[in-house]
Structure 1
Amino acid sequence: MSTTTRAAHADITTPEDLAALLDQRDYLADDGVATACFLALRMGRPLFLEGDAGVGKTELAKALAGALGGPFIRLQCYEGIDAAQALYDWDYPRQLLHLRAAQVAGAADTAQLESGLYDRRFLLARPLLRALEAGDGARGVLLIDEIDRADDEFEAFLLEFLSDFTISIPELGTVRATTPPVVVLTSNRTREVHDALKRRCLYHWMAHPEFDREAAIIRRRLPEATSRLVEEVTAAVQQLRDPVDPGADLLKPPGIAESIDWTAALMALGARELSPENAARTLGALVKHREDHESVSRRLSALLNGHEATR
């Protein structure tokens, strides 16, 4: 482990220490997020983050890796993913070239040729194997992203992997992590993840940020934006997410990622404040479903026209 990484670990004695390190990575963590991450580090438990898309789950894992000074390794889950795609594979084209080169060179020992095919240099390490081999004792972060998109069999495999952080490669032996990675699992809740996997983890629900924190995040990411634009964008997005609003029937309420994108799009048009006209022109940065487009356009028009009438 490098001196920098050791120092980073030594400095993390409270959730507030971790929040400060995340802040240096431009991630503004609230007390709940900082405490959940701190406990995951202290207890050596995977952290299961659940919440709507766009609330900052993936960005948190990236910032945590930066704060710890270790590598960031991401396993993107999808329907049909299996253990081989997450662990390792053999580089068959290179093995074939090796075999042909050996034959041209006159190698005749079949057993030696076959054993040479399964050398470590021909192994393609996938995310889980790379996480075990992070090296130098550096505590990397393994992000298992959108686990809710994988199937039951892959969940069961992950449960076994997380219990001992070992991988058995028949041709080479067992690979065991000398320093287990910090594991962050995320779910957008498109389906329920099994309780067995959740029990292995510490759980944290990531909600959309409150007004002040969302505005601060936008300012941090887009410091050139005017205060008025940031506040008006934040207010509009917060109202669109409001479940009390009888019109809040969006298929995908905008997350903080969309708030940042929308502000950036408005700035690209030279906007210094939010108006019905520039809101309509940049709506594609905020909503990504046709069904939501008309509803959001109508509600923003009423909201912004009402604001203009009171100015």
Structure 2
Amino acid sequence: MDAMTWFSSPTATTAALGEVGYLADAATATTAYLAGALEKPLLIEGPAGVGKTELAKSVAAATGSSLVRLQCYEGLDEARALYEWNYSKQLLRIQAARGDDGSGPGWDETHDDIFGEEFLLTRPLLTAIRRDEPTVLLIDEVDKTDVEVEALLLEVLSDFQVTIPELGTVTATRRPFVVLTSNAARELSEALKRRCLYLHLDYPDADREREIVTSRVPELDDRVARQLVDLVVRLRELELKKAPSIAESIDWARTLVALEVGTLDQAAVTATLGAVLKHATDIERATRELKLA
């Protein structure tokens, strides 16, 4: 898949993403189109649960591409992000080469043998770079990593190549469509941001969220959908530990359908609030503020 064929236009991007269930607004569709056309990584920032990760998955689904995901976390290192050697297998090969009496080849003769493809464990970054088929590389929650990993990403995303001392430089023959997501837990470096197109995703307005919910849960009554979204908007205005995400709105909708709820009255809200709020203190606050008790 060449640079200009991920999507043919922003309008085509909207249509293609819509076919796999992702309702993209104009800014999202345009930026996703440009990320493919310009072969630039796309950095998406915003609160948790607004569709950042889902956009990467939807691009992969809409284009028939493979998805390679690097889930970031504190303490992630190069071995887990890029590659490492299968040390156990290397040791077995060395022992087998030396033989029971130790008369086999020495280290100099064995070295080149054990640093080959057979012993290489590729991690997400190297896996995505080496693939010949269309690939979407999702680097999820990059703000959770250390600055050392951010420096590694700078190197990889600048030239889409990786140098393995024992094997040489591996350069991407087909650049992946790269999506980095961030919940803005920490400020990312300007150097990383310069290499990316930028998109900020926030919670959608009520009309758009209702459209998303009903597209995912079409059996939900329209009146109940309106009541649900109105309540979710009110919940997000409270000082909660974890504001409801779009995914949780969808879960709540599915819960109401399963219970055959015809109207989202006080009793129904009280009985199902655990589908959308996941902390006891949040449920207590919501119950108090929305006067559900």
How far does residue 212 in structure 1 lie from its aligned partner after superposition?
2.0
1:44 corresponds to which of 39, 42, 60: 39
How far does residue 104 in structure 1 lie from its aligned partner after superposition?
5.1
How far does residue 236 in structure 1 lie from its aligned partner after superposition?
0.8
Equivalent position of 1:109 in the other structure:
105
Pairing 1:214–2:209 present: yes
2:287 corresponds to which of 297, 304, 307: 297
Residue 43 of structure 2: SS of its match in structure 1? strand
Residue 203 of structure 1: SS of its match in structure 2? strand
1:121 corresponds to which of 101, 118, 122: 118
For residues 138-192 of structure 1, give each alpha carbon's deviation from its aligned partner in whole angstroms, at most 9, with x where no partner exists: 3311111111111222212211211111111111111110111111111111111
1:188 corresponds to which of 167, 170, 183: 183
Residue identity matched to 1:210: D
* Partners of 1:155 and 1:287 in 2: CA distance: 33
How far does residue 285 in structure 1 lie from its aligned partner after superposition?
1.9
Equivalent position of 2:274 in the other structure:
284
Pairing 1:146–2:141 present: yes
1:271 corresponds to which of 261, 269, 276: 261
* Partners of 2:6 and 2:280 in 1: CA distance: 48
* Partners of 1:219 and 1:9 in 2: CA distance: 33
Pairing 1:257–2:278 present: no
* Partners of 1:75 and 1:10 in 2: CA distance: 24
Range that drifts further, 138-147 or 124-133: 138-147
Percent identity over paired residues: 47
C-alpha distance 11-39 of structure 1, shift in aligned 2 (>3 A): closer
C-alpha distance 10-123 of structure 1, shift in aligned 2 (>3 A): closer
Equivalent position of 2:25 in the other structure:
30
For residues 255-306 of structure 1, give each alpha carbon's deviation from its aligned partner in whole angstroms, at most 9, with x where no partner exists: 101101122223333323312222222222211233322111233445xx9x
How far does residue 12 in structure 1 lie from its aligned partner after superposition?
2.8
C-alpha distance 174-10 of structure 1, shift in aligned 2 (>3 A): closer
Equivalent position of 2:10 in the other structure:
15
Residue identity matched to 1:134: R
1:158 corresponds to which of 143, 153, 156: 153
Equivalent position of 1:67 in the other structure:
62
Residue identity matched to 2:126: L
Contact 2:47 2:183 survives alignment (8 Å): yes
* Partners of 2:38 and 2:4 in 1: CA distance: 14
* Partners of 2:282 and 2:249 in 1: CA distance: 15
* Partners of 1:283 and 1:23 in 2: CA distance: 29
- Specify every segment of 5 or more residues in structure 1 that has no aligned partner in the other structure, as ranges: 243-247, 306-311
Residue 154 of structure 2: SS of its match in structure 1? helix
* Partners of 2:150 and 2:98 in 1: CA distance: 43
Residue 16 of structure 2: SS of its match in structure 1? helix
Residue 131 of structure 1: SS of its match in structure 2? helix
Equivalent position of 2:79 in the other structure:
84
Q: Give the superposed CA RMSD.
A: 2.2
Residue identity matched to 1:282: T
C-alpha distance 228-116 of structure 1, shift in aligned 2 (>3 A): same
Equivalent position of 1:231 in the other structure:
226
How far does residue 198 in structure 1 lie from its aligned partner after superposition?
1.1
How far does residue 10 in structure 1 lie from its aligned partner after superposition?
4.3
Contact 1:9 1:68 survives alignment (8 Å): no
Equivalent position of 2:171 in the other structure:
176
Contact 1:225 1:272 survives alignment (8 Å): no
C-alpha distance 255-234 of structure 1, shift in aligned 2 (>3 A): same
Give the number of equivalent residue pairs. 291
- Specify every segment of 5 or more residues in structure 2 that has no aligned partner in the other structure, as ranges: none
How far does residue 233 in structure 1 lie from its aligned partner after superposition?
1.0
Range that drifts further, 270-279 or 177-186: 270-279
Contact 2:70 2:81 survives alignment (8 Å): yes
* Partners of 2:118 and 2:18 in 1: CA distance: 39
C-alpha distance 91-11 of structure 1, shift in aligned 2 (>3 A): closer
Residue 282 of structure 1: SS of its match in structure 2? helix
Q: TM-score, normalised by structure 2?
A: 0.91
For residues 189-225 of structure 1, give each alpha carbon's deviation from its aligned partner in whole angstroms, at most 9, with x where no partner exists: 1111122211211111101112222112112222232
